[in-house]
Structure 1
Amino acid sequence: MGLSIEEQKAVDRFRQAVAEPSMTQLVVLDFWAEWCGPCKALAPVLEKVCADYADKGVVLAKLDVDQEPFIAAQFQVRSIPTVYAVFQGQPVADLTNARSESQLRAVLDQLLAKLPVQPGSAPVPDLAPLLAMGEEVLAAGEAERAQSIFAQILEMDPDSAAAVAGLARALLAAGQVEEAGAVLDPLDPKLAADPLIAQARAALALAKDRPADNELAALRAAAAADPADMEAQLAFANAAFAAGEREPAAETLLRMIAADRAWNEGAARAKLLQIFEAVGLEDPWVAATRRKLATILFG
């Protein structure tokens, strides 16, 4: 009563992400912020333990105090990280001081022994914040932590194409190509048809070309020694992207297209489009590189 429109929206988001799941499950509610170093240090502990306890009815909810100041104020959050256990809409324990895995597990075991938590019976919470966090962590180069986040999401929603694709891309970023293939290969046809899965498969196909460091150095040297050697340029572009050097790979392919767009039935352009699909057409880098391609093709 008496809430502004923005405050009511904040309450609705909280109800969907925390209050409703907590009716039957134990929600670990983490108040954090992007600028908070201790929050980032605690996050992997919370993510791992909550993922391990998912089959016992424990779920993790993240609340950015900068994005949700009204909710943070209702919980009287004065410093971060602040972590509560929430059950049936009410805080039942302050977990803030449980900073290690063993401490957090001990507290959760005590709570689960007392509370009528019902594993798996709650509606799937809003996973968008966790998915966004996983993408941010992956973009920051923290591949192992991203794996943990996407794996936790899959515990809550095994049919999340975004989480499957995110886990596969996190594995690829960590150089675990076979493991990424194992994630993508056994999918049912409906899930496999999702565009995000197609993007991850494209990234997997390119990652399989990943060379050893000395091989990449040799390919780089060969391409630099003879810019007119299209085979050498393409070989380097393939290897460079597979090794995570997408900018050199794209610039090499763009130079090839500018020099001879028809070479080898348009192989350079085809490879560049494959890279676009692997990275994602909505990615800002892809958008910028596509503009460079359009300038070459159309002037």
Structure 2
Amino acid sequence: MTQQPFMGRGAIDLSALKRPATPQAPPGGGSPGAAAAAGSSYAVNVDEQNFQTVLQASTTAPVVLVFHSPSQAPESSQMADDVADLVGQYDGRFLAGLVDVDAQPQIGQVIAQASQLQQLPVPLLMVFLDGRPAIQPIPGLVSREELSTLFNQLGQQLTAQGITGRHQPLAAPPGGDEAAEDAGPDPRYAPAQDALAAGDIDTAVAEYQKLVDSNPADAEATAGLAMAKILQRTQGVDLSAARAEAAANPDDVDAQIMVADLDLLGGHVEDSFARLVELVRRTSGKERDRARDHLVSLFAAVGNEDPRVLKGRQALASALF
């Protein structure tokens, strides 16, 4: 499954849907909606009454909508449950909105019309940020492993773009007050994330470097540092010019590295890895070492558990030996 970068699109027209008669306070002081869905503190069953409010919550942090149908595609409801369960692992980075199109056909019609589709495919996954679709809609069944990869990628992009907002839980998580106190952003990363939000990439790099120096095993800090360095290297770079330079000079390590960085930021992770693997295959000596070392740094930015990183490491080993 290819993951797309965040992108601006038009807001969804909700005028055809019912409006709540009175404002509904979010349960537990958390994100708007009805009761928490599927046992998750960060998932809500969406209906016509709360749909607009759920979308408005995307001004705080991304909202993941899953359209499923127990009658048309029973397996799609399992996918919705998987999304609800997985978003709960991100401490408010995402809110899942589950839309049963059998029970809420008008919501499906509104989304289909806004997406210029004759009929809404089921299942369908959409991610909203600031009330607008943030990535290309993903139709069809998505495995739990692929969903986990998608959320990891989105979380990394949020960090890289300085988007640090989090949803509040809809209900107290299991474990009582102690678990509730544990939920929420880790303050260790706040200086780096705040710097990214302010556009101060150099400071973000320095803050992440401090974390890595103090604890080299901190995977989140390592990924944050790698991504911040990519942003630092690509500041002000024109993508078209970079691609033209790389095409004209296929063995220029600097030119190929730049396009690989830009591809990674754009969500084209496999293309980024493949470019550098081929560069390793074609080069030798110090140039080969530079290409290999840079590719390894990109693996860290994506995350060592990502299936594409595992494939990329296999391809790199093949190119080296």
- TM-score (normalised: structure 1): 0.46
The structure whose RCO (Cα within 8 Å, separation 6+) is larger is 2
Q: Which has the higher helix share?
A: 1
- TM-score (normalised: structure 2): 0.44
